[in-house]
Each structure stands twice: as structure tokens, then as C-alpha cells.
Amino acid sequence: MPADPTTVTRRRDAQRNRQRLLDVADQAFRKHGVQASLDEVARRAGVGIGTLYRHFPTREALIEALVAADLERVAALADGLAGDTLAGIDGWLAELADHSVTYRGLAEALVTATATSSALGDACTRLHDAGRELVRRAQRHGVVRDDADPSDAVDLASSIAWLTERDADTERRQRLLRAAVDGLRTTGTDELHARDQS
């Protein structure tokens, strides 16, 4: 799945080590967040720490390998939405926020990677682009107000995911998302915008 075919791991043992590291890292990240000890990940995977670094030169590379497919899946979900209902936007942002909460610290890693030239950065850009396009379609449908910035939706979802990543249940996350999306929708009465001039 690497972008560059020349970097593909060929040897069977290397492939197995790589997969083991991913499996163990996933468990460790779920348990301790993305700041889990890489030393312990290597140890539990039964490989030397050098092998971990050979496969994943940075912690970010390891995170990317674990979440890239899921990020692409969420981005593709946005592509498939017409943007004709606010509930659609809301549902998609909830999906995004739920994913960003897979590991503690993931939301931060995604925000940090955004706009960098790494593989994870590219995945984030893909996601943000899909989110912006969705908002633009919603604006054309008159569902989201025209003066909203297309980036706001994903930004708010990222923020809320970060705040609520420690929460056991998803109640608060959903309520906050609902409020945030509500703030982007087209208002029914124009006088409510009067305070824009204040």
C-alpha cells in the first residue's frame, strides 16, 4: 500500500514483522494513546527497536499506516453526500469525530500533520478538501450560510473530537457537534444576523 513501489517490503519475514508491529501498535495506541512507548511496541512485537524504526522512521509514519485507510474511507463518505440536508453534514462530521477519537492524541496528531508534506499530512489534506467541498455543496443548496468558511466544519469537528477524546460516552461529543453545525446553517430570520455589525 505504500505510494512508492520501490519502497515495498519484499522479504517474507519483513512483511510479517511489519504486520506484527502494526497489530501491536494498534493495541498499544488504543490503550495508552498515540504516545505509547515504542520500545514496548517493539518488545511486544518480538522485534528489535531498530526494526520498528526501519519500518516506521517516525511515530507519525506509524500512525499514518494505521489510520490512512480509515481517513480515506471518511473522505470518500463526504464525496458521496449531496449536501442537501444539515443532518447529512452533521452525520458526516460525527463520523469524522468518532474516527479522530480512535486513539487518544490522534486528533492532535491529525491537526499537527495537516499542511505538512508527510503522508499523514496528505491524508489530512484529502479529508479537509472533501469536507470543504461538502460544505460548498451545502451552501449551494442553501443549507449552510454563504458567509461560513468551508473549512469551519472540519475544524469544529476536529476541535470537538479533541475535547471529548477522553469521554467514555459520545453524548457530549454529539451535543457539541450539533451546536457547532447549527451555527453554520442558514438562519430562518435575518434579524438574527444583526449582531454581526456589533
Partner DNA sequence: ACCTGAACACCGTTCAAGT
Binding site for a second copy (CB under 8 A): 85-87, 90, 111, 148-149, 152, 155-156, 158-160, 162-163, 172, 175-176, 178-185, 187-189, 191-192, 195, 198
Cα separation of 91 and 87, whole Å?
A: 6
Could you tell which of a second copy, DNA, none binds residue 14, using a CB distance below 5 to 8 A set by kind?
Answer: DNA
C-alpha grid cell, residue 195: 449582531
Q: Which is nearer to a second copy, 137 or 173 (CB)?
A: 173
* 171 makes contact with DNA (CB under 7 A): no
Closer residue to DNA in complex, CB, 14/119: 14
* Partner interacting with residue 159 (select from a second copy, DNA, none; CB below 5-8 Å by kind): a second copy
- Note whether 101 and 164 are within 8 A (CB): yes
Q: Which residues pair with 185 in a beta bridge?
A: 144
Residue 150: CB minimum distance to a second copy, A: 12
Looking at beta carbons only, is 141 or 185 nearer to a second copy?
Answer: 185
b/e 36-75 (16+ beta carbons within 10 angstroms → b): bebeebbebbebeeebbeebbeebbebbbbbbbeebeebb
Name which of 60, 170, 180, 55 is nearest 124 in CA terms: 60
Q: How many residues bind DNA (CB under 7 A)?
A: 23
Using CA atoms, how far apart are residues 99 and 91, in angstroms rounded to an integer? 12
Residue with cell 511515530: 59
Amino acid, res. 142: G
For residues 2-61, which are near DNA according to CB under 7 A? 9-11, 13-14, 17, 35-39, 46-51, 53-55, 57-59
Residues found near DNA in the complex (CB under 7 A)? 9-11, 13-14, 17, 35-39, 46-51, 53-55, 57-59
